[in-house]
Amino acid sequence: MIFSVGSGATATKSMASMASSFSLMRYTASTTRRAIRVLGTAKPSLSTVNFRRSLCRMSATHDEEASAIAAAANVDSGAPTIFDKIIAKEIPSTIVYEDEKVLAFRDINPQAPVHVLVIPKFRDGLTELGKAEVRHEQILGQLLYAARLVAEKEGILDGFRVVINSGPDACQSVYHLHLHVLGGRQMKWPPG
């Protein structure tokens, strides 16, 4: 890609370096804001608003992907996950449902009016759905039934979504299998 520089000189940058740097997007966003001020537009146009939203999505997507990659690098360390610490009550959480094998609590970064995480209390090698074995059949069923109980408690039994992110390509950021129970608003399709 070629960019014009003030004196007419040209500079080239590889697509890889542009993708890894958000400086171009920040420059474009600040240029857009300056153009709005210069043109005296009191209210930004729909295209400007959509452009800003896409920048936020790109940034959020980049952050989620980076977190997922970092988490995947430490998956086999054997260290306790944040969910292990929540189960042990070392980290506070708002518990919605609990039994001897399952814990459900509110997500600290909700993506819907109702966003509850449902986890097994014992990992037993079940760090992600892609690692499930025949021996995990019972706990997988219990997790899904607990998701239904959570939906009922939260008043969203008429419409809710259950999401399981499995692996770095799905942006799994905690390697302790967990279900997201989402509801309280109209869900869109396709997801993701």
Please, are residues 156 and 185 in contact by the beta-carbon 8 Å criterion?
no
d(CA 67, CA 174): 9
Q: Which segments of the chain does DSSP mark as H helices, in order?
A: 15-20, 23-39, 46-73, 82-87, 137-153
Q: Is the peptide bond before 168 cis (omega within 30 degrees of 0)?
A: no
Rounded Cα gap, residues 173 and 74, in angstroms: 10
Active site residues: 178
Q: Token pair for residue 32? A: 């857009």
149 and 97 Cβ atoms separated by less than 8 Å:
yes
Residue from 68, 58, 47, 67 nearest 18 by CA: 58
**DSSP secondary structure code for residue 114 in this structure:** E
Rounded Cα gap, residues 2 and 190, in angstroms: 36
